[in-house]
Amino acid sequence: MIKGGKRVKTNDLVCNIEPHFTMVPYPRRKEDLTEGGIWTCRKGRKKVAQANVQFELEGRYYPLSGDIPAKSGVIANIEVAETARGKGYGSEVLKDIEREAKEQGMKRMYATSVLFPAEGFWKKQGFIHTGQRRVWIKKLE
């Protein structure tokens, strides 16, 4: 379970993790709840990055990603403020997400990228395109 309010300091970033349960997709039962968290990272008082992440213990179907196997993390998005891009903040947030995913027993991470400029970012971070539209995967070791 993601620990709420956990403060992570990475270089000059301070990240606050707020756990949440999401209903994906179109849930009708309690089993359709999935555990996740919002990573909000600030440099000083300024918000520079935010990520929405789910950890799947049982596996499920996602509308954008297709079938996600058990013990997989899903990064719905990483948003970096336009003025903060190119400074490594997205990479720092991703490292923290991967660290948490490993602690939670995840074996792989999936990422969905709505924006084409993010393609270079995912490749640089060791993700491989799955062949599905805008879906990337990385095995965690």
Residue 42 near residue 35 (C-beta atoms within 8 A): no
137 touches 128 (CB < 8 A): yes
**Residue 89 counted as domain residue:** yes
Tens digit of each residue's pLDDT (9 = 90 or more) over 44-95: 888 998 888 887 777 766 655 567 788 888 888 888 888 888 888 888 889 8
Q: Minimum mean pLDDT among 31-35, 77-81, 100-104, 134-138: which range?
A: 31-35
State the Cα–Cα distance between residues 99 and 55, nearest whole angstrom: 12
With respect to residue 1, please indicate whether it lies within any of the assigned structural domains.
Answer: no
pTM for this prediction: 0.79
Model confidence pLDDT, tens digit, residues 24-45: 444 444 454 456 788 888 888 8
CA-nearest of 58, 67, 56 to 109 is 56
**Residue 128 falls inside a structural domain:** yes
Distance, in Å, from the CA atom of 52 to the CA atom of 20, rounded to the nearest integer, reads: 10
CB 46 within 8 A of CB 55: no
Q: Is residue 124 in some structural domain?
A: yes
CATH of the domain at 70: 3.40.630.30
pLDDT of residue 58: 74
Residue 95 within a domain: yes
SS3 for 119?
helix
130 in a structural domain:
yes
Does 104 reside within a domain? yes
Domain region containing 67? 6-139
Any domain includes 97:
yes
Q: What's the total number of domains in the chain?
A: 1
